[in-house]
Structure 1
Amino acid sequence: MSTTLGVPTPDQASYMLRAAATDAGRSYKQELLELLDVQAGHAALDVGCGPGTDLPALAERVGDRGTVIGVDRDQVMLAQARARTAGLRWVEVREGDAHALPVASGTVDRAKIDRVLMHVAEPADVLAELHRATRPGARIGLAEPDWDTLIVDSEDVETSRAFTRYTTAEVVRHATVGRRLARLAERAGFRIEAVIATTPVFRDFQEADHTLGLGRNLRKAIEGGHVDRTRGRDWFAGLSEGPFYASFTLVSVVGSR
Protein backbone atom coordinates (compact mmCIF):
# COMPACT_ATOMS: atom_id res chain seq x y z
CA MET A 1 0.00 0.00 0.00
CA SER A 2 1.15 3.52 -0.72
CA THR A 3 2.66 5.58 2.07
CA THR A 4 0.48 8.57 1.12
CA LEU A 5 -2.76 9.42 2.89
CA GLY A 6 -4.76 9.55 -0.33
CA VAL A 7 -5.07 5.81 -0.98
CA PRO A 8 -8.58 4.37 -1.27
CA THR A 9 -9.97 2.00 1.33
CA PRO A 10 -9.36 -1.61 0.19
CA ASP A 11 -12.39 -3.77 -0.49
CA GLN A 12 -13.42 -5.72 2.58
CA ALA A 13 -12.97 -9.18 1.10
CA SER A 14 -9.39 -8.48 0.01
CA TYR A 15 -8.64 -6.96 3.40
CA MET A 16 -9.93 -10.02 5.28
CA LEU A 17 -8.06 -12.47 3.07
CA ARG A 18 -4.79 -10.58 3.40
CA ALA A 19 -5.15 -10.22 7.17
CA ALA A 20 -5.82 -13.95 7.51
CA ALA A 21 -2.72 -14.74 5.44
CA THR A 22 -0.28 -12.95 7.76
CA ASP A 23 1.83 -15.01 10.17
CA ALA A 24 -0.18 -13.68 13.11
CA GLY A 25 -3.46 -14.42 11.32
CA ARG A 26 -2.53 -18.00 10.49
CA SER A 27 -1.23 -18.65 14.01
CA TYR A 28 -4.28 -17.65 16.03
CA LYS A 29 -6.70 -19.19 13.53
CA GLN A 30 -4.88 -22.52 13.70
CA GLU A 31 -4.87 -22.43 17.50
CA LEU A 32 -8.58 -21.60 17.62
CA LEU A 33 -9.44 -24.48 15.29
CA GLU A 34 -7.36 -26.92 17.35
CA LEU A 35 -9.07 -25.84 20.58
CA LEU A 36 -12.49 -26.16 18.96
CA ASP A 37 -11.73 -29.86 18.48
CA VAL A 38 -13.90 -30.24 15.39
CA GLN A 39 -14.53 -33.93 14.70
CA ALA A 40 -15.78 -35.97 11.76
CA GLY A 41 -19.56 -35.88 11.53
CA HIS A 42 -19.95 -32.61 13.44
CA ALA A 43 -22.18 -29.74 12.38
CA ALA A 44 -19.88 -26.69 12.42
CA LEU A 45 -21.00 -23.08 12.16
CA ASP A 46 -18.93 -20.04 11.09
CA VAL A 47 -20.78 -16.85 12.02
CA GLY A 48 -19.71 -13.96 9.83
CA CYS A 49 -17.79 -16.26 7.52
CA GLY A 50 -16.81 -13.41 5.17
CA PRO A 51 -15.21 -14.67 1.94
CA GLY A 52 -15.09 -18.20 3.35
CA THR A 53 -11.47 -18.15 4.48
CA ASP A 54 -12.00 -20.77 7.20
CA LEU A 55 -14.72 -22.89 5.62
CA PRO A 56 -12.41 -25.35 3.80
CA ALA A 57 -10.47 -26.05 7.03
CA LEU A 58 -13.72 -26.75 8.88
CA ALA A 59 -14.94 -28.92 6.00
CA GLU A 60 -11.77 -30.98 6.12
CA ARG A 61 -12.33 -31.70 9.80
CA VAL A 62 -16.03 -32.59 9.70
CA GLY A 63 -15.64 -34.72 6.56
CA ASP A 64 -18.43 -35.64 4.18
CA ARG A 65 -20.50 -37.07 7.05
CA GLY A 66 -20.62 -33.67 8.70
CA THR A 67 -21.95 -30.23 7.80
CA VAL A 68 -20.35 -26.81 7.68
CA ILE A 69 -22.58 -23.73 7.65
CA GLY A 70 -21.16 -20.31 6.86
CA VAL A 71 -23.38 -17.30 7.58
CA ASP A 72 -22.87 -13.75 6.34
CA ARG A 73 -25.13 -10.91 5.26
CA ASP A 74 -22.85 -9.30 2.66
CA GLN A 75 -23.56 -10.37 -0.92
CA VAL A 76 -19.95 -9.97 -2.07
CA MET A 77 -18.71 -12.08 0.82
CA LEU A 78 -21.35 -14.72 0.20
CA ALA A 79 -20.42 -14.98 -3.48
CA GLN A 80 -16.74 -15.47 -2.66
CA ALA A 81 -17.49 -17.99 0.09
CA ARG A 82 -19.67 -20.02 -2.28
CA ALA A 83 -17.01 -19.95 -4.98
CA ARG A 84 -14.34 -21.04 -2.48
CA THR A 85 -16.40 -24.06 -1.36
CA ALA A 86 -18.05 -24.94 -4.66
CA GLY A 87 -16.64 -28.48 -4.68
CA LEU A 88 -17.57 -29.24 -1.07
CA ARG A 89 -21.18 -30.43 -1.10
CA TRP A 90 -21.38 -30.63 2.71
CA VAL A 91 -20.68 -26.89 3.03
CA GLU A 92 -23.68 -24.55 3.04
CA VAL A 93 -23.28 -20.78 2.76
CA ARG A 94 -26.38 -18.98 4.02
CA GLU A 95 -27.37 -15.35 3.95
CA GLY A 96 -28.29 -14.12 7.41
CA ASP A 97 -27.68 -11.78 10.29
CA ALA A 98 -25.65 -12.80 13.32
CA HIS A 99 -28.50 -11.53 15.52
CA ALA A 100 -30.96 -13.96 13.87
CA LEU A 101 -28.98 -16.95 12.65
CA PRO A 102 -30.62 -19.02 9.89
CA VAL A 103 -29.93 -22.18 11.89
CA ALA A 104 -32.34 -24.43 13.77
CA SER A 105 -32.10 -24.41 17.57
CA GLY A 106 -29.84 -26.96 19.22
CA THR A 107 -28.31 -28.31 16.01
CA VAL A 108 -24.69 -27.07 16.05
CA ASP A 109 -21.78 -29.05 17.56
CA ARG A 110 -19.00 -26.50 16.98
CA ALA A 111 -19.21 -22.77 16.27
CA LYS A 112 -16.79 -19.93 15.77
CA ILE A 113 -17.05 -16.16 15.59
CA ASP A 114 -13.83 -14.52 14.43
CA ARG A 115 -13.42 -10.72 14.45
CA VAL A 116 -17.15 -10.15 13.96
CA LEU A 117 -18.48 -9.10 17.38
CA MET A 118 -16.55 -5.82 17.24
CA HIS A 119 -18.78 -4.81 14.29
CA VAL A 120 -22.27 -6.06 15.24
CA ALA A 121 -25.01 -3.97 16.85
CA GLU A 122 -25.20 -5.99 20.09
CA PRO A 123 -22.47 -8.57 20.87
CA ALA A 124 -24.45 -9.95 23.83
CA ASP A 125 -27.47 -10.62 21.61
CA VAL A 126 -25.31 -12.43 19.04
CA LEU A 127 -23.87 -14.69 21.73
CA ALA A 128 -27.36 -15.41 23.05
CA GLU A 129 -28.36 -16.40 19.52
CA LEU A 130 -25.27 -18.62 19.29
CA HIS A 131 -26.34 -20.31 22.53
CA ARG A 132 -29.75 -20.99 20.99
CA ALA A 133 -28.22 -22.57 17.89
CA THR A 134 -25.78 -24.88 19.71
CA ARG A 135 -26.67 -28.21 21.28
CA PRO A 136 -25.77 -29.25 24.87
CA GLY A 137 -22.09 -30.20 24.95
CA ALA A 138 -21.25 -28.02 21.95
CA ARG A 139 -18.02 -26.03 21.90
CA ILE A 140 -17.54 -22.46 20.68
CA GLY A 141 -14.46 -20.44 19.72
CA LEU A 142 -14.42 -16.64 19.74
CA ALA A 143 -11.63 -14.26 18.72
CA GLU A 144 -11.65 -10.47 18.89
CA PRO A 145 -9.02 -7.71 18.99
CA ASP A 146 -8.91 -5.19 21.81
CA TRP A 147 -8.17 -2.03 19.87
CA ASP A 148 -7.65 -0.01 23.04
CA THR A 149 -4.33 -1.86 23.33
CA LEU A 150 -3.08 -0.69 19.92
CA ILE A 151 0.50 0.60 20.08
CA VAL A 152 2.26 2.39 17.23
CA ASP A 153 5.84 3.34 17.99
CA SER A 154 6.82 6.90 17.13
CA GLU A 155 8.90 9.71 18.59
CA ASP A 156 5.64 11.66 18.54
CA VAL A 157 3.98 9.64 21.30
CA GLU A 158 1.03 12.01 21.65
CA THR A 159 -0.02 11.60 18.02
CA SER A 160 0.28 7.82 18.37
CA ARG A 161 -2.00 8.00 21.39
CA ALA A 162 -4.42 10.29 19.56
CA PHE A 163 -4.56 7.78 16.71
CA THR A 164 -5.39 4.95 19.11
CA ARG A 165 -8.06 7.06 20.83
CA TYR A 166 -9.62 7.87 17.48
CA THR A 167 -9.56 4.21 16.42
CA THR A 168 -11.23 3.17 19.69
CA ALA A 169 -13.83 5.92 19.79
CA GLU A 170 -14.72 6.44 16.13
CA VAL A 171 -13.55 3.61 13.87
CA VAL A 172 -14.46 0.35 15.60
CA ARG A 173 -17.98 -0.09 16.96
CA HIS A 174 -16.99 -2.22 19.96
CA ALA A 175 -13.27 -1.56 20.26
CA THR A 176 -12.87 -3.18 23.68
CA VAL A 177 -14.94 -6.32 23.07
CA GLY A 178 -11.78 -8.46 23.25
CA ARG A 179 -11.36 -7.89 26.99
CA ARG A 180 -15.11 -8.45 27.54
CA LEU A 181 -15.32 -11.62 25.48
CA ALA A 182 -15.16 -14.17 28.30
CA ARG A 183 -17.62 -12.25 30.45
CA LEU A 184 -20.11 -11.87 27.62
CA ALA A 185 -19.85 -15.55 26.68
CA GLU A 186 -20.37 -16.65 30.27
CA ARG A 187 -23.42 -14.41 30.63
CA ALA A 188 -24.82 -15.96 27.45
CA GLY A 189 -24.74 -19.37 29.14
CA PHE A 190 -21.40 -20.83 28.02
CA ARG A 191 -18.81 -22.38 30.33
CA ILE A 192 -15.41 -20.83 29.73
CA GLU A 193 -12.65 -23.36 29.14
CA ALA A 194 -9.79 -21.19 27.90
CA VAL A 195 -8.92 -17.51 27.52
CA ILE A 196 -5.83 -16.76 25.45
CA ALA A 197 -4.28 -13.36 24.82
CA THR A 198 -1.80 -13.04 21.98
CA THR A 199 0.05 -10.01 20.68
CA PRO A 200 0.40 -9.75 16.90
CA VAL A 201 3.52 -7.69 16.17
CA PHE A 202 4.03 -5.72 12.96
CA ARG A 203 7.56 -4.78 11.90
CA ASP A 204 6.69 -4.11 8.26
CA PHE A 205 5.12 -0.72 7.67
CA GLN A 206 3.24 -1.71 4.50
CA GLU A 207 1.62 -4.72 6.18
CA ALA A 208 0.63 -2.64 9.19
CA ASP A 209 -0.73 0.14 7.01
CA HIS A 210 -3.03 -2.35 5.30
CA THR A 211 -4.08 -4.40 8.33
CA LEU A 212 -4.34 -1.64 10.93
CA GLY A 213 -5.65 1.07 8.62
CA LEU A 214 -2.94 3.56 9.54
CA GLY A 215 -3.20 5.82 6.51
CA ARG A 216 -6.92 5.63 5.84
CA ASN A 217 -7.89 6.10 9.49
CA LEU A 218 -5.39 8.89 10.03
CA ARG A 219 -6.91 10.69 7.05
CA LYS A 220 -10.35 10.44 8.68
CA ALA A 221 -8.94 11.56 12.05
CA ILE A 222 -7.42 14.65 10.43
CA GLU A 223 -10.62 15.44 8.53
CA GLY A 224 -12.62 15.11 11.76
CA GLY A 225 -10.31 17.41 13.68
CA HIS A 226 -8.98 14.69 15.99
CA VAL A 227 -5.37 15.04 14.82
CA ASP A 228 -3.56 18.17 13.61
CA ARG A 229 -3.03 17.92 9.85
CA THR A 230 0.65 18.87 9.75
CA ARG A 231 1.54 16.84 12.80
CA GLY A 232 -0.42 13.85 11.54
CA ARG A 233 1.28 13.89 8.14
CA ASP A 234 4.70 14.17 9.78
CA TRP A 235 3.82 11.26 12.08
CA PHE A 236 2.76 9.07 9.16
CA ALA A 237 5.83 9.99 7.09
CA GLY A 238 8.06 9.10 10.04
CA LEU A 239 6.42 5.69 10.37
CA SER A 240 7.06 4.88 6.72
CA GLU A 241 10.77 5.64 7.07
CA GLY A 242 11.26 2.92 9.72
CA PRO A 243 12.33 1.02 11.71
CA PHE A 244 8.69 0.23 12.44
CA TYR A 245 6.81 -1.38 15.35
CA ALA A 246 3.10 -1.77 16.09
CA SER A 247 1.09 -4.29 18.08
CA PHE A 248 -2.26 -4.97 19.72
CA THR A 249 -3.84 -7.66 21.90
CA LEU A 250 -6.03 -10.35 20.37
CA VAL A 251 -8.22 -12.33 22.77
CA SER A 252 -9.46 -15.85 22.00
CA VAL A 253 -12.08 -17.59 24.14
CA VAL A 254 -13.12 -21.22 23.99
CA GLY A 255 -16.25 -22.30 25.80
CA SER A 256 -18.81 -25.09 25.94
CA ARG A 257 -22.56 -25.22 26.31
Structure 2
Amino acid sequence: MPTSLGATRPDQASYMLRAAAGDAGRAYKQQLIDLLDIAPGLTVLDAGCGPGTDLPALAGRVGDKGKVIGVDRDPAMLAKARERTDGLSAVEIREGDVHALPVAAQSVDRAKIDRVLMHVADPAGVLAQLHRVTRPQAVIGLAEPDWDTLVVDAEDLGTSRAFTRYTTDHVVRNATIGRSLARLADDAGFAVETVVATTPVFRDFQDADHMLGLGRNMQQAIDEHCIDQQRGRRWFADISEGQFYASFTLITVICSR
Protein backbone atom coordinates (compact mmCIF):
# COMPACT_ATOMS: atom_id res chain seq x y z
CA MET A 1 0.00 0.00 0.00
CA PRO A 2 1.27 3.51 -0.74
CA THR A 3 2.43 5.72 2.08
CA SER A 4 -0.30 8.11 3.16
CA LEU A 5 -0.43 11.68 1.99
CA GLY A 6 1.01 13.73 4.83
CA ALA A 7 3.08 10.91 6.34
CA THR A 8 5.25 11.90 9.31
CA ARG A 9 8.79 13.05 8.55
CA PRO A 10 11.16 10.12 9.18
CA ASP A 11 13.82 10.11 11.87
CA GLN A 12 16.68 12.16 10.41
CA ALA A 13 19.48 9.73 11.23
CA SER A 14 17.56 6.78 9.80
CA TYR A 15 16.68 8.85 6.75
CA MET A 16 20.34 9.71 6.07
CA LEU A 17 21.52 6.14 6.55
CA ARG A 18 18.84 4.84 4.19
CA ALA A 19 19.72 7.47 1.59
CA ALA A 20 23.38 6.45 1.72
CA ALA A 21 22.54 2.75 1.46
CA GLY A 22 20.57 3.07 -1.77
CA ASP A 23 22.17 2.48 -5.17
CA ALA A 24 22.24 6.19 -6.04
CA GLY A 25 23.60 7.18 -2.63
CA ARG A 26 26.37 4.59 -2.68
CA ALA A 27 27.44 5.54 -6.21
CA TYR A 28 27.91 9.28 -5.71
CA LYS A 29 29.47 8.85 -2.26
CA GLN A 30 32.01 6.39 -3.63
CA GLN A 31 32.78 8.81 -6.45
CA LEU A 32 33.22 11.70 -4.01
CA ILE A 33 35.60 9.76 -1.77
CA ASP A 34 37.58 8.50 -4.77
CA LEU A 35 37.97 12.03 -6.14
CA LEU A 36 39.34 13.23 -2.79
CA ASP A 37 42.40 11.03 -3.39
CA ILE A 38 42.85 10.14 0.27
CA ALA A 39 46.21 8.57 1.09
CA PRO A 40 47.30 6.80 4.31
CA GLY A 41 48.45 9.16 7.04
CA LEU A 42 46.35 12.16 5.98
CA THR A 43 43.92 14.11 8.17
CA VAL A 44 40.40 14.17 6.73
CA LEU A 45 37.46 16.31 7.87
CA ASP A 46 33.83 15.30 7.37
CA ALA A 47 31.95 18.56 8.05
CA GLY A 48 28.37 17.84 9.00
CA CYS A 49 29.06 14.12 9.33
CA GLY A 50 25.53 13.28 10.48
CA PRO A 51 25.20 9.71 11.79
CA GLY A 52 28.71 8.87 10.56
CA THR A 53 27.69 7.31 7.28
CA ASP A 54 31.05 7.94 5.59
CA LEU A 55 33.41 7.86 8.56
CA PRO A 56 34.33 4.14 8.39
CA ALA A 57 35.16 4.41 4.68
CA LEU A 58 37.31 7.50 5.31
CA ALA A 59 39.06 5.74 8.20
CA GLY A 60 39.87 2.85 5.90
CA ARG A 61 41.60 5.25 3.51
CA VAL A 62 43.77 7.09 6.08
CA GLY A 63 44.92 3.96 7.90
CA ASP A 64 46.36 3.67 11.40
CA LYS A 65 48.58 6.75 11.06
CA GLY A 66 45.89 9.07 9.71
CA LYS A 67 43.00 10.88 11.33
CA VAL A 68 39.33 11.37 10.45
CA ILE A 69 37.46 14.20 12.17
CA GLY A 70 33.68 14.09 12.07
CA VAL A 71 31.86 17.29 13.09
CA ASP A 72 28.14 17.70 13.69
CA ARG A 73 26.01 19.86 15.99
CA ASP A 74 23.16 17.38 16.58
CA PRO A 75 23.66 15.22 19.70
CA ALA A 76 21.52 12.42 18.24
CA MET A 77 23.64 12.35 15.09
CA LEU A 78 26.84 12.39 17.14
CA ALA A 79 25.63 9.45 19.21
CA LYS A 80 24.97 7.44 16.04
CA ALA A 81 28.34 8.45 14.60
CA ARG A 82 30.14 7.31 17.74
CA GLU A 83 28.24 4.04 17.66
CA ARG A 84 29.15 3.42 14.01
CA THR A 85 32.84 4.19 14.55
CA ASP A 86 33.33 2.41 17.86
CA GLY A 87 36.72 0.71 17.71
CA LEU A 88 38.05 2.86 14.85
CA SER A 89 41.01 4.59 16.50
CA ALA A 90 41.54 6.95 13.55
CA VAL A 91 38.12 8.58 14.00
CA GLU A 92 37.51 11.54 16.29
CA ILE A 93 33.96 12.88 16.71
CA ARG A 94 33.54 16.55 17.65
CA GLU A 95 30.40 18.49 18.46
CA GLY A 96 30.24 21.80 16.63
CA ASP A 97 28.57 23.94 14.00
CA VAL A 98 29.89 24.00 10.45
CA HIS A 99 29.71 27.81 10.63
CA ALA A 100 32.40 27.69 13.35
CA LEU A 101 34.28 24.44 12.89
CA PRO A 102 36.05 23.18 16.06
CA VAL A 103 39.17 22.48 14.01
CA ALA A 104 42.55 24.25 14.08
CA ALA A 105 43.57 26.45 11.16
CA GLN A 106 45.46 24.71 8.35
CA SER A 107 45.31 21.31 10.06
CA VAL A 108 43.35 19.29 7.47
CA ASP A 109 44.60 17.62 4.27
CA ARG A 110 41.22 16.59 2.87
CA ALA A 111 37.70 17.83 3.63
CA LYS A 112 34.23 16.96 2.47
CA ILE A 113 30.79 18.42 3.04
CA ASP A 114 27.91 16.43 1.63
CA ARG A 115 24.28 17.62 1.41
CA VAL A 116 24.82 20.09 4.26
CA LEU A 117 25.12 23.45 2.51
CA MET A 118 21.52 23.21 1.29
CA HIS A 119 20.42 23.49 4.94
CA VAL A 120 22.76 26.10 6.43
CA ALA A 121 22.15 29.79 7.09
CA ASP A 122 25.36 30.98 5.41
CA PRO A 123 26.89 28.67 2.76
CA ALA A 124 29.65 31.17 1.95
CA GLY A 125 30.56 31.38 5.62
CA VAL A 126 30.82 27.60 5.86
CA LEU A 127 33.11 27.48 2.83
CA ALA A 128 35.24 30.20 4.46
CA GLN A 129 35.55 27.89 7.47
CA LEU A 130 36.68 25.03 5.22
CA HIS A 131 39.27 27.35 3.70
CA ARG A 132 40.49 28.28 7.20
CA VAL A 133 40.98 24.71 8.43
CA THR A 134 42.55 23.22 5.30
CA ARG A 135 46.27 23.26 4.52
CA PRO A 136 47.76 24.60 1.29
CA GLN A 137 47.35 21.98 -1.48
CA ALA A 138 44.47 20.38 0.42
CA VAL A 139 41.65 18.81 -1.59
CA ILE A 140 38.02 19.64 -0.75
CA GLY A 141 34.90 17.83 -1.95
CA LEU A 142 31.44 19.42 -2.04
CA ALA A 143 28.25 17.58 -2.98
CA GLU A 144 24.75 19.09 -3.12
CA PRO A 145 21.47 18.52 -4.96
CA ASP A 146 19.76 21.07 -7.16
CA TRP A 147 16.11 20.59 -6.23
CA ASP A 148 14.96 22.75 -9.12
CA THR A 149 15.80 19.72 -11.28
CA LEU A 150 13.44 17.37 -9.43
CA VAL A 151 11.13 15.64 -11.92
CA VAL A 152 8.29 13.27 -11.09
CA ASP A 153 6.55 11.50 -13.96
CA ALA A 154 2.78 11.97 -13.91
CA GLU A 155 0.00 12.53 -16.43
CA ASP A 156 -0.70 15.77 -14.58
CA LEU A 157 2.55 17.48 -15.54
CA GLY A 158 1.39 20.81 -14.17
CA THR A 159 1.05 19.44 -10.65
CA SER A 160 4.45 17.74 -10.88
CA ARG A 161 5.94 21.09 -11.80
CA ALA A 162 4.04 22.78 -8.98
CA PHE A 163 5.38 20.18 -6.55
CA THR A 164 8.97 20.85 -7.64
CA ARG A 165 8.40 24.60 -7.36
CA TYR A 166 6.98 24.16 -3.87
CA THR A 167 9.96 22.00 -2.85
CA THR A 168 12.34 24.64 -4.13
CA ASP A 169 10.53 27.65 -2.69
CA HIS A 170 9.27 26.30 0.64
CA VAL A 171 10.87 23.01 1.71
CA VAL A 172 14.64 23.29 1.22
CA ARG A 173 16.48 26.34 2.53
CA ASN A 174 19.09 26.61 -0.25
CA ALA A 175 17.36 24.47 -2.84
CA THR A 176 19.51 25.37 -5.85
CA ILE A 177 22.88 25.36 -4.07
CA GLY A 178 24.16 22.54 -6.27
CA ARG A 179 24.43 24.68 -9.38
CA SER A 180 26.23 27.39 -7.38
CA LEU A 181 28.92 25.21 -5.79
CA ALA A 182 31.70 25.96 -8.27
CA ARG A 183 31.08 29.71 -8.09
CA LEU A 184 30.90 29.71 -4.30
CA ALA A 185 34.07 27.62 -4.04
CA ASP A 186 35.88 30.06 -6.32
CA ASP A 187 34.62 33.00 -4.24
CA ALA A 188 35.95 31.29 -1.10
CA GLY A 189 39.45 31.15 -2.57
CA PHE A 190 39.50 27.55 -3.73
CA ALA A 191 40.70 26.42 -7.17
CA VAL A 192 37.92 24.40 -8.81
CA GLU A 193 39.35 21.24 -10.37
CA THR A 194 36.37 19.03 -11.21
CA VAL A 195 32.60 19.45 -11.55
CA VAL A 196 30.48 16.33 -11.95
CA ALA A 197 26.70 16.05 -12.27
CA THR A 198 24.96 12.77 -11.48
CA THR A 199 21.29 11.86 -11.65
CA PRO A 200 19.87 9.65 -8.88
CA VAL A 201 16.88 7.79 -10.33
CA PHE A 202 13.97 6.41 -8.30
CA ARG A 203 11.83 3.65 -9.81
CA ASP A 204 10.24 2.45 -6.57
CA PHE A 205 7.41 4.65 -5.33
CA GLN A 206 7.76 3.72 -1.66
CA ASP A 207 11.47 4.51 -1.68
CA ALA A 208 10.89 7.81 -3.48
CA ASP A 209 8.08 8.77 -1.11
CA HIS A 210 10.38 8.21 1.85
CA MET A 211 13.43 9.93 0.36
CA LEU A 212 11.78 12.80 -1.53
CA GLY A 213 8.91 13.50 0.84
CA LEU A 214 6.26 13.19 -1.88
CA GLY A 215 3.31 12.66 0.43
CA ARG A 216 4.32 14.84 3.36
CA ASN A 217 5.43 17.76 1.19
CA MET A 218 2.33 17.55 -1.01
CA GLN A 219 0.13 17.69 2.08
CA GLN A 220 2.10 20.69 3.31
CA ALA A 221 1.67 22.38 -0.08
CA ILE A 222 -2.08 21.75 0.12
CA ASP A 223 -2.28 23.06 3.69
CA GLU A 224 -0.48 26.24 2.63
CA HIS A 225 -2.82 26.67 -0.37
CA CYS A 226 0.02 26.35 -2.88
CA ILE A 227 -1.60 23.35 -4.61
CA ASP A 228 -5.30 22.60 -4.89
CA GLN A 229 -6.33 19.82 -2.51
CA GLN A 230 -8.28 17.70 -5.01
CA ARG A 231 -5.59 18.03 -7.63
CA GLY A 232 -2.78 17.24 -5.18
CA ARG A 233 -4.51 14.17 -3.78
CA ARG A 234 -5.29 12.86 -7.25
CA TRP A 235 -1.66 13.41 -8.33
CA PHE A 236 -0.34 11.50 -5.30
CA ALA A 237 -2.77 8.62 -5.84
CA ASP A 238 -1.90 8.39 -9.55
CA ILE A 239 1.90 8.27 -9.08
CA SER A 240 1.56 5.59 -6.39
CA GLU A 241 0.22 3.09 -8.95
CA GLY A 242 1.95 1.42 -11.88
CA GLN A 243 5.33 2.46 -13.26
CA PHE A 244 7.07 5.17 -11.30
CA TYR A 245 9.92 7.54 -12.18
CA ALA A 246 11.54 10.44 -10.35
CA SER A 247 15.01 11.96 -10.50
CA PHE A 248 17.05 15.03 -9.65
CA THR A 249 20.57 16.32 -10.35
CA LEU A 250 23.30 16.15 -7.74
CA ILE A 251 26.49 18.17 -8.30
CA THR A 252 29.91 17.25 -6.95
CA VAL A 253 32.72 19.81 -6.98
CA ILE A 254 36.32 18.97 -6.21
CA CYS A 255 38.58 21.92 -5.47
CA SER A 256 42.00 22.60 -4.00
CA ARG A 257 43.25 25.07 -1.43
TM exceeding 0.5: yes
Q: Which residue of 2 aligns with 1:29?
A: 29
Could you tell me whether the CA contact under 8 Å between 2:152 and 2:246 is conserved in 1?
yes
- Distance in 1 (CA, whole Å) between partners of 2:195 and 2:165 is 25
Q: Which residue of 1 aligns with 2:39?
A: 39
SS at match of 2:150: strand
- Distance in 2 (CA, whole Å) between partners of 1:6 and 1:123 is 30
Q: Which residue of 1 aligns with 2:164?
A: 164
- Distance in 1 (CA, whole Å) between partners of 2:100 and 2:6 is 38
Alignment map for 1:144-163 (pairs within 5 Å): 144-163=144-163
Q: Percent identity?
A: 72
Could you tell me whether the CA contact under 8 Å between 1:178 and 1:250 is conserved in 2?
yes
RMSD over aligned CA atoms reads: 0.9
SS at match of 1:39: coil
Q: Which residue of 2 aligns with 1:221?
A: 221
Q: Structure 1 unaligned segments of length 5 or more: list them.
A: none
Alignment map for 1:52-71 (pairs within 5 Å): 52-71=52-71
Q: Structure 2 unaligned segments of length 5 or more: list them.
A: none
- Distance in 1 (CA, whole Å) between partners of 2:198 and 2:7 is 30
- Distance in 2 (CA, whole Å) between partners of 1:6 and 1:167 is 14
Could you tell me whether the CA contact under 8 Å between 2:148 and 2:175 is conserved in 1?
yes
Could you tell me whether the CA contact under 8 Å between 1:38 and 1:62 is conserved in 2?
yes
- Distance in 2 (CA, whole Å) between partners of 1:210 and 1:62 is 34
- Distance in 2 (CA, whole Å) between partners of 1:68 and 1:198 is 26
4+ residue segments displaced more than 4 Å: none
SS at match of 1:99: helix
Alignment map for 1:173-188 (pairs within 5 Å): 173-188=173-188
- Distance in 2 (CA, whole Å) between partners of 1:130 and 1:56 is 21
Aligned residues: 257
Could you tell me whether the CA contact under 8 Å between 2:2 and 2:240 is conserved in 1?
no
Alignment map for 1:182-221 (pairs within 5 Å): 182-221=182-221
Q: CA deviation at 1:6?
A: 3.9
Could you tell me whether the CA contact under 8 Å between 2:45 and 2:111 is conserved in 1?
yes
